[in-house]
């Protein structure tokens, strides 16, 4: 262990890693490595962890010319000179990030800044990388010298495997990851998301802290365990752990008053003091219990968010751009510009907090209302087509209010010819606002290929083989349709595509969440719902209802 302790202050370090005898790691199979990393096999011995880190990082595919230890030895004196390392200014791309000291001694704390400056010299293309100080500080605990740590960090930064994302190095990548995290919170941590919406003026600003929770606030023993798995499984692990942190924050703090006037500060404080409530093992257990989207789906979502930011002209961190961006998120539903006969400004903002982050940048645009355009299904289609996504709002004569977020252009209905065919993606959802607020998660159709092969159902009911119920979800996770699957995104056959919406000249069917389904007749005066296994057995609205007002809203840039 002597060769790996030159930067470690052992008075701060967990004493259990100093003496435990663990065998050398000999496995190379991914699944076995994955299991051992999650179990904390090499967390039990400091030297073993250092050797495993070196092995895993050495196997990262990198650019042909990647700076190594010899480069560091050549440039460090020229760059640092005789200046005191503790006073060295940090490059702008770390964005005034925390420089964690973890369990480093004085020499290690100074080495962090020296390595950052040398990396800035060798990687001029890095424009935004707030996680870098934490990664360097962590790896210094397991490096023989500064040069070795420099080389390991360079390999992580120079990874050229397009399927293996590691650390965000541009503002565009960072900000889109924050939006993606917001989408995942919206999907997997709805109770926590509801709290964020209630207490924060800008939810995305809170979620923009997610990497800081990990690379800054999380104590050494926790981030080291996370990093063990991260080096094996990649970026998705970071999302998992951040979601778990938010779940625990909500569980521990539920019903308690805020400790400060900022939810951001409260979450940071909770993460710093997480040892008071959650062990590292429990945190990882919670993280891997989340049935998260596949790596491919998350990548698709990330790309969509990047594209939305690029279209807004937000690719670098500029104060003016960022102010506009945050203003669009917070004021997308502006009281002076919004008028609906169904929902209030506050209710529309609540709905806006549920939609994917890339569309929360947009403002609502009224496309169709029965009060102005009449109760014609053909007019409904003509006004809605060409817009994607759309928001459907319904107010019944009994004062019930419900609706649906619809991810796909209604023109897709023509792909089935005269047959009633389903389309849409798993980002769709249905919701109820009155008498009580409830959002219903999307439930897949077990046999979607049968939904598109039959003739148009009588009485506008969906085919029996396509029952939209939570009981129809296959028990084997590998058989589940993925939440964001869409035939046109992945070039998949229609039988494996997501199904949510259906429309013809006779009716509209919106197959919804938690067993909910909504049916609207051609005259747009009458509708029905079907439901089973719903949350507290509460239906979307009355089983049969008369429509008072129906509106369709689009999303305007």
Same domain, 16 and 105: yes
204 occurs within a structural domain: yes
> 397 or 492, which is more confident?
397
> 510 or 229, which is more confident?
229
CA distances from 308 to 73, 210, 311, 427, 513 (A): 42, 20, 5, 16, 27
> Quick one: pLDDT at residue 149?
97
User: 332-345 pLDDT, tens per residue?
Assistant: 666 677 899 999 98
1 occurs within a structural domain: no
Same domain, 66 and 154: yes
> 205 or 489, which is more confident?
205
Q: What is the mean pLDDT of residues 384-405?
A: 93
**Which of 269, 296, 312 is a domain's end point?**
312
pLDDT of 291 > 70? The answer is yes
Distance between CA atoms of residues 345 and 333, nearest Å: 7
Indicate the pLDDT class of residue 435, thresholds 50, 70 and 90.
Answer: confident
350 occurs within a structural domain: yes
pLDDT of 325 > 50? The answer is no
User: 298-320 pLDDT, tens per residue?
Assistant: 888 888 888 888 877 776 765 44
Q: The tokens of 207 are what?
A: 């979620």
Percent of the chain exceeding pLDDT 90 equals 46
CATH code, domain with 302: 1.10.472
Nearest alpha-carbon partner for 390 in 339, 427, 421, 417: 427
DSSP annotation of 437 reads -
> Quick one: pLDDT at residue 361?
76
Percent of the chain exceeding pLDDT 70 equals 81
Same domain, 79 and 138: yes
pLDDT of 346 > 80? The answer is yes
Distance between CA atoms of residues 191 and 71, nearest Å: 50
Q: Name residue, tokens 């807004």.
A: 312
Distance between CA atoms of residues 216 and 198, nearest Å: 26
> Quick one: pLDDT at residue 489?
37
Same domain, 147 and 212: no
Buried b (16+ CB within 10 A) or exposed e, 192-202: bbbbbbeebee
Bond preceding residue 499 cis, omega within 30 of 0? no
> 163 or 355, which is more confident?
355
> Quick one: pLDDT at residue 219?
96
Q: Chain-wide mean pLDDT for the chain? A: 81
CA distances from 506 to 102, 188, 395, 418, 449 (A): 65, 36, 21, 11, 21
Q: The tokens of 197 are what?
A: 């919406």
- SS3 state of residue 378: helix
pLDDT of 86 > 80? The answer is no
Is 511 within 8 Å of 500 (Cβ atoms)?
yes
> Quick one: pLDDT at residue 2?
62
Q: Is the pTM value of this prediction over 0.85?
A: no
pLDDT of 514 > 80? The answer is no
Same domain, 290 and 376: no
**Crossing angle of helices 171-188/190-199, nearest 10°?**
110
**Where on the phi/psi map is residue 168: left (φ > 0), alpha (ψ -120 to 50), or beta?**
beta
Q: The tokens of 329 are what?
A: 């998120």
Indicate the pLDDT class of residue 190, thresholds 50, 70 and 90.
Answer: confident
DSSP labels for 3-38? GG-TTB-TTTS-THHHH---PPP----HHHHHHHHH
Same domain, 260 and 380: no
262 occurs within a structural domain: yes
62 occurs within a structural domain: yes
Same domain, 275 and 183: yes
User: 446-491 pLDDT, tens per residue?
Assistant: 333 333 333 333 333 333 333 333 333 333 333 333 334 333 333 3
134 occurs within a structural domain: yes
> 540 or 385, which is more confident?
385
Q: Domain total for the chain?
A: 3
469 occurs within a structural domain: no
Distance between CA atoms of residues 293 and 313, nearest Å: 28
> Quick one: pLDDT at residue 396?
94
DSSP labels for 307-351? HHHHHTT--S--HHHHHHHHHHHHSSS-TTT---SS--HHHHHHH
> Quick one: pLDDT at residue 21?
62
Distance between CA atoms of residues 541 and 529, nearest Å: 7
Q: What is the mean pLDDT of residues 50-78?
A: 94
User: 112-154 pLDDT, tens per residue?
Assistant: 999 999 999 999 999 999 999 999 999 999 999 999 999 999 9
For CA atoms 190, 195, 198, 203, give the dihedral sign.
negative
> Quick one: pLDDT at residue 532?
47
Q: Which of 300-309, 366-375, 505-514 has the lowest mean pLDDT?
A: 505-514
Distance between CA atoms of residues 308 and 87, nearest Å: 39
> 495 or 208, which is more confident?
208
Distance between CA atoms of residues 453 and 416, nearest Å: 9
Same domain, 142 and 189: no
> Quick one: pLDDT at residue 498?
52
468 occurs within a structural domain: no
> 168 or 17, which is more confident?
168
User: 29-49 pLDDT, tens per residue?
Assistant: 888 899 999 999 899 889 999
- Domain of 133? 10-158
**Which of 312, 331, 360 is a domain's end point?**
312
The 3 state secondary structure assigned to 388-416 is: CCEEEEEEECCCCEEEEEECCCHHHHHHH
Same domain, 133 and 188: no
> 436 or 159, which is more confident?
159
User: 242-266 pLDDT, tens per residue?
Assistant: 999 999 999 987 777 777 778 999 9
Same domain, 294 and 196: yes
259 Cβ neighbours under 8 A, 6+ residues apart: 265, 266, 269
Same domain, 127 and 186: no
Same domain, 197 and 146: no
Partnered with residue 517 across adjacent β-strands are 511, 530
């Amino acid at each position: 262990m002597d060769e790996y302790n030159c930067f470690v202050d052992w008075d701060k370090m967990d004493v259990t890693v100093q003496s435990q005898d663990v065998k050398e790691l000999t496995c190379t199979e991914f699944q076995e490595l994955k299991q051992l990393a999650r179990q904390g096999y090499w967390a039990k011995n400091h030297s073993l962890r250092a050797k495993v880190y070196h092995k895993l990082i050495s196997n990262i595919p990198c650019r042909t010319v990647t700076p190594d230890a010899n480069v560091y030895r050549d440039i460090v004196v020229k760059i640092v000179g005789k200046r005191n390392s503790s006073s060295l200014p940090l490059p702008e791309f770390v964005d005034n990030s925390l420089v964690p000291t973890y369990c480093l001694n004085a020499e290690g704390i100074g080495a962090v800044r020296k390595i950052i400056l040398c990396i800035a010299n060798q990687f001029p293309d890095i424009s935004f990388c707030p996680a870098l100080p934490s990664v360097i500080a962590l790896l210094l605990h397991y490096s023989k010298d500064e040069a070795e740590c420099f080389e390991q960090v360079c390999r992580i930064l120079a990874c050229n495997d397009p399927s293996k994302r590691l650390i965000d190095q541009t503002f565009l990548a960072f900000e889109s990851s924050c939006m993606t995290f917001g989408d995942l919170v919206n999907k997997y941590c709805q109770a926590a998301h509801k709290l964020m919406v209630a207490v924060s003026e800008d939810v995305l600003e809170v979620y923009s802290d997610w990497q800081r929770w990990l690379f800054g606030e999380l104590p050494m023993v926790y981030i080291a365990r996370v990093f063990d798995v991260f080096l094996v499984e990649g970026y998705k692990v970071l999302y998992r752990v951040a979601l778990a942190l938010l779940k625990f924050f909500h569980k521990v703090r539920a019903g308690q008053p805020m400790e400060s006037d900022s939810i951001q500060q409260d979450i940071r404080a909770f993460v710093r003091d997480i040892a008071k409530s959650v062990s590292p093992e429990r945190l990882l257990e919670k993280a891997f219990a989340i049935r998260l989207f596949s790596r491919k789906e998350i990548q698709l979502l990330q790309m969509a968010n990047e594209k939305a930011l690029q279209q807004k002209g937000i690719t670098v961190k500029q104060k003016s751009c960022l102010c506009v961006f945050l203003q669009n998120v917070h004021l997308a539903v502006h009281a002076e510009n919004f008028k609906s006969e169904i929902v209030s400004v506050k209710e529309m903002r609540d709905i806006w907090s549920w939609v994917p982050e890339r569309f929360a940048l947009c403002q609502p645009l009224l496309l169709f209302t029965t009060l102005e355009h009449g109760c014609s299904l053909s007019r409904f289609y003509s006004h809605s087509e060409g817009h994607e996504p759309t928001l459907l709002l319904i107010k019944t004569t009994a004062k019930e209010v419900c609706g649906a977020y619809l991810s796909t252009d209604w023109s897709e209905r023509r792909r089935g010819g005269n047959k009633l065919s389903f389309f849409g993606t798993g980002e769709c959802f249905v919701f109820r606002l009155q008498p009580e607020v409830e959002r219903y998660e999307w439930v897949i159709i077990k046999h979607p290929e049968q939904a598109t092969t039959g003739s148009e159902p009588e009485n506008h009911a969906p085919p029996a083989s396509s029952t939209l119920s939570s009981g129809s979800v296959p028990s084997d996770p590998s058989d589940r349709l993925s939440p964001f699957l869409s035939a046109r995104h992945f070039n998949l056959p229609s039988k494996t595509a997501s199904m949510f919406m259906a429309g013809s000249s006779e009716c509209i069917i919106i197959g919804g969440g938690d067993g909910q389904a909504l049916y609207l007749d051609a005259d747009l005066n009458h509708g029905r719902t079907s439901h089973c296994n719903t949350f507290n057995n509460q239906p979307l609205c009355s089983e049969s209802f008369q429509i008072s007002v129906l509106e369709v809203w689009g999303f305007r840039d």
